[in-house]
Amino acid sequence: MRWVENPPNPWHTQHREWLGPPPPARLEIYEESARSIVTGNESPDVGFRWSANPYRGCFFGCSYCYARPTHQYLDFGAGTDFERRIVVKVNAPRLLRRTLRKKSWAGESLALSGNTDCYQPLEASYRLTRGMLEVCREFANPVGIVTKSGLIQRDLDLLCDLAAFGLVRVHFSIAFGDDLMARAIEPYAPSPSARFEAMRTGSRRGRSSITSGPPNDARSSAVISATACMQPACAAMSCGCVSASDNTTRGSASGISSSEIVAPCGIVSTAISTC
């Protein structure tokens, strides 16, 4: 059981303190009919220009999540509110279709996630990420996904359709190779072992790289290399690569670090330390 615990909201002039024990942090779902779904940014620290998030808040509750303060704009807290008061943009696929139809839309790559995990548990019933992927397939629009969830395997059919035209990249966020360590810092996210397994499944079914992992982590590098070798392109070249040939890590002002791991056969896997 977790109790409600949030840092003071800087947008409030008053703060509430509990006289007794705070109430339990229960899951609350807020359905929202959003006005728009695609957001642009020009930050040199962020590797994408356009993003779309079907949810606000994230059940996985990683303690390091940089998206937490965005919940304070909603009058919620950045602590347990971010993890348990989840806003669902129920019209996300419809809004995305409306955006991609516009003449002004240039068909640039779209990042699903960035401010939430688009495959958090609610996605199993709301299916908004799946709906958005269907729209991307309909418009042949390139899309990138960052997730910690094995639920992405549900949508391998769509991902394979997009990958057949080089329209998708999927990145698994794996900050720790050790399950116990991850449980302490990412308490409600699937274990790293489960994520590695999802990567393996994705690479067996997929055509483009569905691989990512933490920079400078021997275990993940090995899995990434092994995964790359399962790619059809790798198999066709019989390159037999067994280790990554390059691993360049770069830091950024936002605290995200990423690296590109290039297998000898040329398949590039992007690894990130946080989503």
Interface residues toward ligand SF4, by CB under 6 A: 58, 60-62, 65, 67, 116-117, 148, 189, 274-275
Orientation of helix 128-139 relative to helix 92-101, angle to 10°: 20
Compute the least distance from the CB of residue 234 to ligand SF4, in Å.
29
Residue number, 175 or 265, with CB nearest to ligand SF4? 175
| Coil vs helix vs strand at 80 | helix
Orientation of helix 192-205 relative to helix 218-229, angle to 10°: 20
Compute the least distance from the CB of residue 83 to ligand SF4, in Å.
7
Contact between 119 and 151 under an 8 Å Cβ cutoff? The reply is: yes
Residue number, 147 or 225, with CB nearest to ligand SF4? 147
Residue number, 123 or 155, with CB nearest to ligand SF4? 123
Compute the least distance from the CB of residue 275 to ligand SF4, in Å.
4
Residue number, 57 or 264, with CB nearest to ligand SF4? 57
β-sheet with 247-250: strand ranges across: 247-250, 258-262, 268-272
Could you tell me the CA-to-CA distances from 187 to 54, 178, 198, 252 in Å, in that order? 22, 13, 19, 25
Contact between 133 and 143 under an 8 Å Cβ cutoff? The reply is: yes
**From CA 223, how far away is CA 57, in angstroms rounded?**
30
Residue number, 152 or 244, with CB nearest to ligand SF4? 152
Contact between 47 and 105 under an 8 Å Cβ cutoff? The reply is: no
Compute the least distance from the CB of residue 62 to ligand SF4, in Å.
3
Residue number, 87 or 189, with CB nearest to ligand SF4? 189
Compute the least distance from the CB of residue 55 to ligand SF4, in Å.
9
Q: Where are the alpha helices (DSSP H) in the chain?
A: 80-84, 92-101, 123-126, 128-139, 156-163, 179-185, 192-205, 218-229, 232-237
Compute the least distance from the CB of residue 151 to ligand SF4, in Å.
12
Residue number, 148 or 207, with CB nearest to ligand SF4? 148
**From CA 118, how far away is CA 6, in angstroms rounded?**
23
Compute the least distance from the CB of residue 212 to ligand SF4, in Å.
13
